[in-house]
Structure 1
Amino acid sequence: MKYVQPIRDRELIKKMKNELLKNGSRNFMLFNIGINTGLRVSDILSLKVFDVKDKTHITINEQKTKKQKRILINSNLKKDIDDYIYGMNDCDYLFKSRKGENCPLSRVQAYRILNYAASNLNLSEIGTHTMRKTFGYWHYNIYKDVAILQDIFNHSSPSITLRYIGINDDIKDKTIKDFYL
């Protein structure tokens, strides 16, 4: 499996959103929820309308860890979600596949959607985990609190969290950039 990176540039995040919007709001919202909640793609794809409709938090049992997770839906994301789910049934998957009556988008298809948009923008090292890593990267850069982020991600140590979001890579690159003997 290839290693993916967070999107470290706000302008590229905006371009990615616009690129995804070209094919409809579903793809945009998949990315938008991913980068604003830090949920794993498997947990995002299993969400149904009733999981977010008229809610202040997304509450799930993580598929990977089986732990309960509760993530705030902030006011900006709430507005986007409300606009997106307007007219949808409570039992509908948020991200429906075009195959079947009410089937969720597959992980593979989610990867293809994100990768296609990224390739149109000449971005590399992009995959479904990019959404979670982007959330973590920006959360850390804004709040500088690795302990909170470690808890959000259910990681066992701060070093795992920093490595996961690419902060260690940034620090290593910075130390080597002007290093020349």
Structure 2
Amino acid sequence: MSKQTNKSIAERAIKAHYSYKQTQSEDTAREYRRHIRRFHKYLNENTDVTLWDCHSGHAEDYYQWMFDDEYAPSSIRVAHAALGDFYKQIDKFAGRRGFPEVSVEQDPTEYATPERINGMHTESKKDAEGGDKPLTKEEVRKLVDNVPAPTTRNELIVRLLYQTGMRRSELVRVKLDKIDRDSREITVYGKKTDESRKVWYQASLDTLLNLWINGDRKAKLTADESPYLFCTSRSERMDEQVVTDVVTTAAENAGIQETIYQNRQGQNINRIGAHTLRKTFGVHFINDGGDISFLMDILGHKNIETTKENYLKYSTKDLENSVRRHGPSL
């Protein structure tokens, strides 16, 4: 089976499964489709197997990849449930209800489990007291002032994360042709949501962005061929871990890094990482009077409850007083 044929059959199966799940829950159908597509993409990019001949080892490697990429344990469990349901329905409806006639060698979720991944049962930063606490404006300034070399690139990384609320996975995938420097608008592809959205940065970033694009970036060996904002001398796109390393090193240099807890491997889990700047953007946005429904769209959340749960608890904005002041009284 050619790669293109396999892709076509896979999309047909995913579409049929989505239609089936829609009859039960639209939200679940969308969530499961996103996870199945991400697994399909993972197999294409990291293995030589397909959805039809992968096995439990591939599934567990995928769960480990999600965990290493900072997906929450709850998201990994949903991915496991989504894939399990996908293979269950293929076995049940193969050749019917829009499902292709395919033969699956083994349901890869049958013997795979996310719970075997080291760290799935450790305390998360979100659960640890103060673990996902945002930075103060003064702490952000200290981060910017203490980035490691190369300083132009790394300062741009920190300030872009803070000004836009992008995830690190989104930042490294920003393409030059998706940056409108006149309107200071960036079209972002969300690897986590498999959708695109727009974010904006402030005029204070113009000089630094121009210095990188028109200067330092051009010195990279891959610059002419790479479509990405952050290319390196060895690859067309920066690795996500580099973003984390830049932020954590800047925090250590600034003397503001904190250890939240130790995982099962005895590794220190730091309070300040790349995601901390996303959290900080959101809380500062709300505290400055930003609308939480707008924040949901900017951050690429699917559900406003996610935004409320993660960003209101650290907000100093008095919601009750805001309602009493601005709410209708008739």
**Distance change (3 Å), C-alpha of 1:53 and 1:147:** closer
Q: Is this contact kept in 2: 1:52–1:58, CA < 8 A? A: yes
Question: 2:257 maps to which residue?
Answer: 123
Q: CA deviation at 1:149?
A: 0.6
Q: 1:48 aligned to 2:175?
A: yes
Q: What secondary structure sits across from 1:16 in the alignment?
A: helix
Q: Is this contact kept in 2: 1:48–1:94, CA < 8 A? A: yes
Q: What secondary structure sits across from 1:20 in the alignment?
A: coil
Q: Provide the rounded CA distance (Å) in 1 between the counterparts of 2:282 and 2:187.
A: 19
Q: Which amino acid aligns with 1:34?
A: L
For normalisation by structure 1, the TM-score amounts to 0.78
Q: What secondary structure sits across from 2:198 in the alignment?
A: strand
1:158 to 304, 310, 315: 304
**Distance change (3 Å), C-alpha of 1:5 and 1:67:** same
2:194 to 51, 55, 66: 66
Question: 1:8 maps to which residue?
Answer: 135
2:292 to 118, 129, 146: 146
Q: Provide the rounded CA distance (Å) in 1 between the counterparts of 2:229 and 2:161.
A: 13
Q: What secondary structure sits across from 1:71 in the alignment?
A: strand
Q: Provide the rounded CA distance (Å) in 1 between the counterparts of 2:224 and 2:186.
A: 15
Q: Is this contact kept in 2: 1:50–1:91, CA < 8 A? A: no
Identity, % of aligned positions: 23
Q: CA deviation at 1:74?
A: 3.1
Q: CA deviation at 1:10?
A: 1.0
With a CA cutoff of 8 Å and minimum separation of 6, indicate the structure with the bigger relative contact order: 1
Q: Which amino acid aligns with 2:305?
A: S
Q: Which amino acid aligns with 2:142?
A: K
Question: 2:209 maps to which residue?
Answer: 81
Q: 1:97 aligned to 2:210?
A: no
Question: 1:33 maps to which residue?
Answer: 160
Q: Is this contact kept in 2: 1:48–1:91, CA < 8 A? A: no
For normalisation by structure 2, the TM-score amounts to 0.45
Q: CA deviation at 1:144?
A: 4.1
**Distance change (3 Å), C-alpha of 1:26 and 1:65:** same
Q: Which amino acid aligns with 1:51?
A: K
C-alpha offsets along residues 33-84 of structure 1, whole Å, 9 cap, x if unaligned?
1111111111111123333264522113322112221123432223331232
| Larger Rg over CA atoms | 2
Q: Provide the rounded CA distance (Å) in 2 between the counterparts of 1:147 and 1:53.
A: 24
Q: CA deviation at 1:143?
A: 1.8
Q: What secondary structure sits across from 2:146 in the alignment?
A: helix
**Distance change (3 Å), C-alpha of 1:163 and 1:91:** farther
1:133 to 257, 279, 289: 279
Q: Is this contact kept in 1: 2:197–2:300, CA < 8 A? A: no
